[in-house]
Amino acid sequence: MQQLQEENRKLRRICAALIERVEANSPDRPDPYAAFQHSITLAEQVRERTDALNQAMAELKASNFLLREAREKTETANQRLVDAIESISDAFVLFDQQQRIVQFNSHFTDFCTEAGISVGLGTTLQQFRQKASRSGMVMEERSGQGAGTTLYRLRSGQWVQASERPTREGGQVMLYTDITELKASEQALREQALAQKTRLLQNTVNSLSQGVAVVNADGFLELWNGRFLALTGVSQAQPHMRLAEVLAATELGQVSDSKDRKLLGGSAYEQRLLNGKVLEVRSHAMPSGGVVNTFTDITERYHYAETLKESERWVRQITDQIPALIAYVGDDLRYTFTNRGYDEWYGWQRGSAIGNTLVKMHRRQQYSRLQPYIEQAFAGRTVTFEFPETNASGQERYLLRTYVPNFASQPGAEAVAGSSGQKAKVMGIFVLIRDITERRKHAEALQLAYQSLEARVEERTQELSTLNAQLRDEVTERQRSQQRMLEAKQEAERANLSKTKFLAAVSHDLLQPLNAARLFTGALLEAQVSEQQGNLAKSINHALEDVEALLGTLVDISKLDAGVMHAEIVSFDLRDLLTVLATEFRQVAGAEGLDFRCHPLAVQVSSDPQLLSRILRNLLSNAVRYTPHGGILLGCRMRRGKVCIEVWDTGMGIPADKQEEIFQEFRRVNPPAHRQDRGLGLGLAIVDKIARMLGYEVKVTSRPGRGSTFSVSIPLASDQVPVGASTRDSLPQPGNIDLGWAPIWLVDNDHAICEAMTTLLEKWGCQVISATSLADLNRQVDIAEDQAALLIADYHLDNETATGLDVVEHINAARTTALPVLMITANYSLELKQQIKQQGYLLMHKPVKPLKLKMALLQLFGSQVTSQ
């Protein structure tokens, strides 16, 4: 602006000078008008210059206005920058191209003041760093995650992050951020993660089956689990205790130097404790220092190893006595077993071959001869060959060698693998060598004899040709004799089978009179008679029981031999079966003056209840028969997923050499002298046959004079259902239900049985209407309308074309409400039993026992009363 004003003044002075010059011009100029015109021209030029100057002045003013406005904006922006830098919570400092401080905020001033550093504008970066180093404010320096980032731990405990960034002009910007709280948060997170890992490690250690004790590099206990305390017997452990001090009061510390310690190599050993346990203690060094000690209970493994050693000793002792050379070679062609004969043959020191290869133990030539056969054995084939060999004494003997491959899988796996194109791996070969020198000499001698005999044979060929015809005739006659003998044998077998089937088939006819006699006897026992008559009735009942037992035994043997007895496997409650048996044999044992106890289990088993009951009845009957005094126990226990039913007695016992003989037919050991016994010796034979049919094993343990125990194991049912009250508890007891509320219809073609059954039922207060056929019953009652409490029918109605089932079906079809049915039969076939069961009828087999009959009637009457 001043420059323009100065130029304007200069132009004005120039204009005045020009005018003055014109006016003072030479007087020789004649035309004043020309001078005036010239002055006008000059004035015009001055005016033009003045206008240009004025325009320039206006433009200059506009420029000055814009410049002042720009300066104000710059100052405002600069102030805002200063305010922004000041508002930053971090310490800020700016260096120019010469690395001199040109700008900083108050936080940087405070940061330097706290550190005892004096800085200002113009201080260089090198000077600032030197002052910071001399002040000792930085205690630790670390590299940050980003480029140009450095972490400093100050003397005051604060953490500062320094970030350096270059500017476009070549300067540098530095920010100092206080990250103390961030570092504290990171430390807390690290400690939390460490605590979580520590807990996880502790939980992991606690879940181990081994005892674990971790010791740091200084020998102090850092970590342990409960299994460590339980195995070592440590009552209490505290951190930062030495492991030796913790174990000092335990058995490990007390017997650590005893002979029971067995070193395993390195820092591992086995320790037998005073309580019989065996611990395996191992120490594992950690890379960062310290040791992890593990304590493993290997008692079972130790005993198993000892058992294996004992078994190996017995095997070695047995093989040493065998007159053969026995060895085992692994897949690495190393001997792992040789018997005494093998070592003595080759002159080896006992056991020196173990662990050595065939090549090392045999000469190269000898091994070359054996190699083809060894390769065949390892290919999976059994190889047998022979050749001469010289023993340790220098004798040449002929040896017969057999190589048998040992496959990795179970027997039979080779065939299965072969079908899929893969062969089982051979783990080794069994070597069996026998000296056949004498046999070979005999063979050679026989060969020589054969050669010498050829001439004699040729000489006698003519004679033999003559005899050959005679021999052919004799052979033909012998073949005829053999054919006749075969036909006789087949006829005898057919006769024996026919006899057996006949005896099984006629059981019904044999049991009919016996059934009537038992019913009459039961009625007589129910009647009011004198003591003498009562004793006579009891004697008759005992005699009938003996006849029934003998006949039942013969029938059972016949059915088992004929193959007509079959098993029906079902699931049932074992407690019900044992309770029924206990009720029956408690009375039988009591009659003999014996104590009887039963301990059943409420479990579901899978078996044939009738056949199982037959086994247990025979065992209990034997126990009663051979126990003169004491008692009998029927119990059961769980063993390996099965139920073992046992019968204990305090009888005379069985000698050890007779315990297999007692299961043979018609064999009895020491028949009881205390009672008149009519047994045939078939009871245990039947037990053995039925058990074999069911796939069970009957075991016996006995001590003469102390008693015997018979046991049989049966499988559990696949589905175990909750078991409620036992059948005995649910059955009505004798006398608690009135039996005379309605008539009982009885249908049996045997008049004696009808009379005996009627007599017995009337003694119990029942009304009985008996009939020998359906037509006979129709004549006495209206089967459709008359009331009846029960229908008792015999299955075999010989005088009728229909069976008892047909009669029952006809009667119930005519009635609105079907009658409860008790079907009585001497047929023990499985088909009939299933057929009656499907109809919902109750089944009883002949001969009928009065007590069982009464219990069956009470059960049927009870169910009928409940339904009404």
836-866 pLDDT, tens digit per residue, is: 888 888 888 777 777 778 777 877 776 554 4
The gap from C-alpha 556 to its chain's centroid, in whole angstroms, comes to: 43
Helices (H), 212-298: 226-232, 243-247, 251-254
At 242 the three-state DSSP class reads strand
Which band of pLDDT confidence, cut at 50, 70 and 90, is reported for residue 415? very low
Compute the radius of gyration of the chain from its Cα atoms: 59
| The pLDDT of residue 240 is above 90 | no
Predicted confidence at residue 735, as pLDDT, reads: 45
Predicted confidence at residue 502, as pLDDT, reads: 59
Strands 744-747 and 768-771: parallel
Tell me phi and psi for residue 529, to 5 degrees: -125, 170
Angstrom distance (rounded) from CA 143 to CA 502: 108
Report long-range pairs for 422-427 (Cβ below 8 Å, ≥24 apart).
423/380, 424/380, 426/331, 426/377, 426/378, 426/379, 426/380, 427/330, 427/331
- With a pLDDT cut of 90, the percent of the chain lying above it is 4
Of residues 305, 245, 320, 240, the one with CA closest to residue 272: 305
Residue 428 near residue 336 (C-beta atoms within 8 A):
yes
Which band of pLDDT confidence, cut at 50, 70 and 90, is reported for residue 635? very high
Q: Over 645-660, what HEC string results?
A: EEEEECCCCCCHHHCC
Tell me phi and psi for residue 387, to 5 degrees: -165, 160
Residue 652 near residue 672 (C-beta atoms within 8 A):
yes
12-30 pLDDT, tens digit per residue, is: 777 777 666 656 655 555 5
CB atoms within 10 A of CB 343: 20
Predicted confidence at residue 631, as pLDDT, reads: 93
Q: Which two tokens stand for residue 34?
A: 């020309």
Tell me the one-letter amino acid at 729: D
CA angle 294, 295, 298 (to 5 degrees): 130
CB atoms within 10 A of CB 601: 17
Which residues have a Cβ under 8 Å from the Cβ of 603 and sit 6 or more positions away? Answer: 573, 574, 575, 638, 643, 716, 720, 723
pLDDT: which is higher, 744 or 521: 744
Q: What is the DSSP letter of 73?
A: H
Predicted confidence at residue 546, as pLDDT, reads: 55
Angstrom distance (rounded) from CA 552 to CA 548: 6
Which band of pLDDT confidence, cut at 50, 70 and 90, is reported for residue 798? low
Predicted confidence at residue 633, as pLDDT, reads: 93
Residue 149 near residue 133 (C-beta atoms within 8 A):
no
Phi-psi region of 87 (alpha: psi -120 to 50; beta: other; left: phi over 0): alpha
Which band of pLDDT confidence, cut at 50, 70 and 90, is reported for residue 55? confident
Range list of β-strands (E), 286-395: 291-297, 325-330, 335-338, 383-390
Whats the size of the chain, residue-wise?
868
Give pTM, 2 decimals: 0.36
Range from 18-32, 261-275, 287-301, 343-357 carrying the lowest mean pLDDT: 18-32
User: What are the CA-CA distances from residue 222 to residues 140, 226, 292, 622, 859 (Å)?
Assistant: 31, 14, 10, 68, 73
Residue 574 near residue 600 (C-beta atoms within 8 A):
yes
Helices (H), 506-530: 507-526
**For 270, what's the count of Cα atoms within 13 Å in the CB-facing half-sphere?**
13
Q: Which two tokens stand for residue 280?
A: 């395996």
User: What are the CA-CA distances from residue 731 to residues 430, 579, 580, 792, 854 (Å)?
Assistant: 66, 11, 10, 20, 11
Which of 23-32, 430-439, 542-551 ranks highest by mean pLDDT?
A: 430-439
Burial 563-572 (b: 16+ CB within 10 A, else e): eebeeeeeeb
Which band of pLDDT confidence, cut at 50, 70 and 90, is reported for residue 256? very low
Which residues have a Cβ under 8 Å from the Cβ of 205 and sit 6 or more positions away? Answer: 212, 223, 224, 225
Residue 119 near residue 94 (C-beta atoms within 8 A):
no
CA angle 387, 391, 395 (to 5 degrees): 85
Q: Which two tokens stand for residue 264?
A: 């395993």
The enclosing H or E element of 224 equals strand 221-224
64-88 pLDDT, tens digit per residue, is: 888 888 888 777 877 777 777 777 7
Predicted confidence at residue 867, as pLDDT, reads: 43
- Average the pLDDT over 219-233 and give the result: 79
- Helix, strand, coil proportions of the chain in percent (round to 5)? 50, 20, 30
Q: In what order do the strands lie in the sheet with 426-435?
A: 335-338, 325-330, 426-435, 396-407, 383-390
Of residues 515, 580, 584, the one with CA closest to residue 846: 515
Predicted confidence at residue 423, as pLDDT, reads: 64
Range from 13-22, 128-137, 275-284, 536-545 carrying the lowest mean pLDDT: 536-545
- Average the pLDDT over 574-585 and give the result: 88
